[in-house]
C-alpha cells in the first residue's frame, strides 16, 4: 500500500456505492382499490351512455343497479337470497363439520389416514356438479340434492386442509405435552387443534368459494328461487341488466364470506407472529 491509496487521486473515479436493495415488499395502500373500482365503473358507464358499448352486449352499471332495485322492491331479492343462503350455509356447515372430523382423524390415526387419504385423492378431483344428477336421483329435486352437492364439494378440500394442518403442528409442542404427562385428549384439544387452526381457516376460505360456485351450478339445474336460478332466467330472457345484477350479488356474497373469515383469522389467530 502506497501513501497515495489514502488520498483521492484525480484519476480514480469516486462514486457512492450503488443501492441494490429494496423492492419485493408490497405495502398496504387502502385508497388504490376504490380508485380503480371507480375508474372502471366510470369508463363502463360512460362507454354505455356514449353508445360505444351496446346494451345488448353489456348493460350500463346504472341499469344493472336499477334491476337490482327493482328486484328488491318486488320482494324477490329476499326470497332468492334466503333460498341461496340456506343452501349455502347448510351445505357448507355440514360439509365442514364432517371434513374437520375426518381430517382430524386422518391426521391422528394410522388406519384412518390409510383409509381416508386415497379416497379423498380419488374423489376430490371429480367436479361435484357432475354428481348432481346422481344426487337428484338419490335425494329428489328439492333442497336435499343441492345441499348434498355443496356438502360433498366442501367436504373434500376441508379434509385435505385439516389433515395437512394437523400434520404441520410442531412436533416439539406435542412432545412437550407428553413430557408433562398431558392426557391424549388434552394434547389433541389444547395443542393439536389450536395448532391446526390457521390451516383450517385457510381451508375454510377455499371451501366457502367452492360452496358458492356449486350453489349457483346446482340452482341453475333445478330451482325456483335462488341467485343461480335468477341469473339463469335472466340469461334465458336476454335480460342482461338482471344478469349483471345477479352476478354482482354473487360477488358481494363472496366478499362477505371472505371478510367474515378474515375477521375470524384476526380474532382467533392474534397469537401469530
Partner 1 sequence: MDLHLDHISHNYDGTAVLSDIHLDIPKGQIVCIIGPSGCGKSTLLRFIGGLEKPTEGQVLQVGNPPEDSLNPLTYIFQDFALLPWRTVSGNVSLVLEDHGIKGNAADAIIKDVLARTKLSDFADALPKQLSGGMKQRVAIARALAVRPACLLMDEPLSALDSQTRELLMDDLVDLWVRENYTAVYVTHNLNEAVRLGHKVVVLSRRPGKIREIVEIDIPLQDRQAHEHLLSEKQAHLWELMREEAMAADQELAHV
Binding interface with partner 1 (CB under 8 A): 170, 172-173, 175-176, 178-183, 186, 190-191, 194, 270-273
Residue whose grid cell is 375508474: 39
Smallest separation (angstroms) from partner 1 to the CB of 199: 14
Minimum gap (Å) between residue 210 Cβ and partner 1: 28
Our CB check for partner 1 shows the closer of 48 and 197 to be 197
CA 89 – CA 146 distance, rounded (Å) = 12
Closer of 71 and 196 to partner 1 (Cβ): 196
Taking alpha carbons only, the member of 116, 111, 88 closest to residue 101 is: 116
Q: Taking the complex as a whole, how short is the minimal distance between the CB of residue 176 and partner 1, in angstroms?
A: 4
| CA-wise closest residue to 218 among 205, 208, 232, 204 | 232
At its nearest, how many Å lie between partner 1 and the CB of residue 269? 8
Q: CA 225 from chain center: how many Å?
A: 24
Provide the minimum distance between the beta carbon of 172 and partner 1 in the complex, in angstroms, as a whole number: 5
- Residue 8 vs 266, nearer CB to partner 1: 266
* CA atoms of 4 and 96, how far apart (whole Å): 76
Quick one: cell of 50?
Answer: 356514449
User: CA 64, 65, 68, 74 torsion: positive or negative?
Assistant: negative
CB 232 to partner 1: min, Å: 45
Tally helices (H) and strands (E) across the chain: 11, 0
Q: Which residues contact 58 (CB under 8 A, 6 or more apart)?
A: 44, 48, 240, 244
Task: Report CA-CA distances (Å) from 43 to 35, 40, 63.
Answer: 12, 5, 15
Closest approach, Cβ 177 to partner 1, in A, equals 8
DSSP per position, 122-188: HHTTS-GGGGHHHHHHHH-SSHHHHHHHHHHHHHHHHHHHHHHHHHTS-HHHHHHHHHTT--HHHII
Amino acid at each position: 500500500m502506497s501513501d497515495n491509496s489514502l488520498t483521492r487521486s484525480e484519476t480514480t473515479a469516486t462514486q457512492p456505492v450503488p443501492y441494490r436493495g429494496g423492492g419485493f415488499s408490497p405495502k398496504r395502500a387502502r385508497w388504490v382499490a376504490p380508485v380503480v373500482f371507480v375508474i372502471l365503473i366510470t369508463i363502463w358507464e360512460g362507454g354505455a351512455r356514449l353508445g360505444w358499448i351496446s346494451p345488448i352486449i353489456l348493460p350500463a352499471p346504472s341499469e344493472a343497479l336499477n334491476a337490482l332495485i327493482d328486484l328488491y322492491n318486488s320482494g324477490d331479492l329476499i326470497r332468492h337470497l334466503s333460498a341461496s343462503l340456506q343452501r349455502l350455509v347448510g351445505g357448507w356447515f355440514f360439509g365442514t363439520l364432517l371434513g374437520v372430523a375426518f381430517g382430524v382423524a386422518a391426521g391422528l390415526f394410522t388406519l384412518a389416514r390409510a383409509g381416508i387419504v386415497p379416497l379423498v385423492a380419488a374423489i376430490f378431483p371429480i367436479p361435484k356438479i357432475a354428481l348432481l344428477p346422481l344426487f337428484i336421483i338419490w335425494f329428489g329435486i328439492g333442497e336435499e340434492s343441492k345441499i348434498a352437492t355443496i356438502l360433498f364439494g366442501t367436504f373434500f378440500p376441508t379434509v385435505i386442509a385439516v389433515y395437512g394442518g394437523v400434520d404441520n403442528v410442531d412436533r416439539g409442542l406435542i412432545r412437550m405435552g407428553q413430557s408433562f404427562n398431558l392426557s391424549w385428549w388434552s394434547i389433541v384439544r389444547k395443542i393439536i387443534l389450536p395448532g391446526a387452526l390457521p390451516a383450517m381457516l385457510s381451508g375454510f376460505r377455499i371451501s366457502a368459494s367452492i360452496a358458492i360456485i356449486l350453489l349457483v351450478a346446482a340452482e341453475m339445474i333445478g330451482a325456483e328461487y335462488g341467485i343461480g336460478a335468477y341469473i339463469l332466467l335472466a340469461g334465458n330472457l336476454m335480460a342482461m341488466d338482471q344478469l349483471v345484477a345477479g352476478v354482482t350479488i354473487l360477488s358481494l356474497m363472496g366478499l362477505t364470506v371472505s371478510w367474515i373469515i378474515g375477521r375470524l383469522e384476526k380474532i382467533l389467530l392474534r397469537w401469530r407472529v
